[in-house]
Amino acid sequence: AQKVTQAQTEISVVEKEDVTLDCVYETRDTTYYLFWYKQPPSGELVFLIRRNSFDEQNEISGRYSWNFQKSTSSFNFTITASQVVDSAVYFCALSEADFNKFYFGSGTKLNVKP
Amino acid sequence: GAVVSQHPSWVICKSGTSVKIECRSLDFQATTMFWYRQFPKQSLMLMATSNEGSKATYEQGVEKDKFLINHASLTLSTLTVTSAHPEDSSFYICSASGRVNYGYTFGSGTRLTVV
């Protein structure tokens, strides 16, 4: 069965600090997709990244970077030089290759203080 | 591309009434739509999967007679919460999947409050 675990319920940092959000997943599928979403207080889900199970290359997009390690079933997300606007709930999610339904982690609330 | 529109963004209704939520794919044909529910400070849980022209598939524990899903066209799916009760108050969000979009675009969500 698919399962996504985000052990960090809430993290508080001061602006300009780096922060890493952890995500560990379980699946028996050999083909799957991993995602990160940002959910601001308004509620919408903002897509950040999609990674398939065959691509273990780390990715960097501006201040955001992702570390995908199949050996530890982890897909961690790092924000460098955090800003107040980064404050939100961040969800890690896993989807099956064929049907595209998502299994979400419980989310990590990030508070960035000025 | 791959825009999913959801309406209304928020609704307040009286206990016992029904509420309809619409999910539209604006620039692609959505063969499959997914409906999720998020209770306050909790994660998103899949409620049901709807395929155009066929009956929806509900996840375990979701009452199909209470949450009616219709996916009559390739661009529209509706979720009707029938005889709503305060415990149905939640954030409902949809996503749509087609040949060009693999379900990673979500609607903006609907916040339902039943009083």
Q: What is the pLDDT along chain B (115 residues), one digit of tens a residue?
A: 678 899 999 999 999 999 999 999 888 888 889 999 999 888 999 999 998 888 899 999 999 999 999 988 889 999 999 999 999 999 999 998 876 655 567 899 999 999 9
Q: Does A100 contact B at CB distance below 8 Å?
A: yes
CB contact under 8 A, B42 and A104: no
Beta-strand runs (E) in chain B: 4-7, 10-13, 19-25, 32-38, 44-51, 57-58, 67-73, 76-81, 90-97, 102-106, 110-114
Chain B residues near any Cβ of chain A (below 8 Å): 32, 34, 36, 42-46, 49, 91, 93, 95, 97, 102-109, 111
The 10 Å Cβ neighbour count of residue A76 is 18
CB nearest to B43's CB, from A43, A99, A105:
A105
Rounded to the nearest angstrom, the minimum Cα separation between B91 and chain A is 8
Percent pLDDT > 90 in chain A is 73
Structural contact between residues A13 and A77, judged by C-beta atoms closer than 8 angstroms: no
CB contact burial A4-41 (16+ within 10 A = b; e otherwise): bebebeebebeeeeebebbbbbebeeeebbbbbbbbee
Question: Tens of pLDDT along B70-102?
Answer: 988 889 999 999 999 999 999 999 998 876 655
Yes or no, beta carbons of A107 and B43 under 8 Å apart:
yes
Is some CB atom of chain B closer than 8 A to the CB atom of A3? no
Q: Please tell me the distance in Å from A17's CA to the nearest CA on chain B.
A: 25
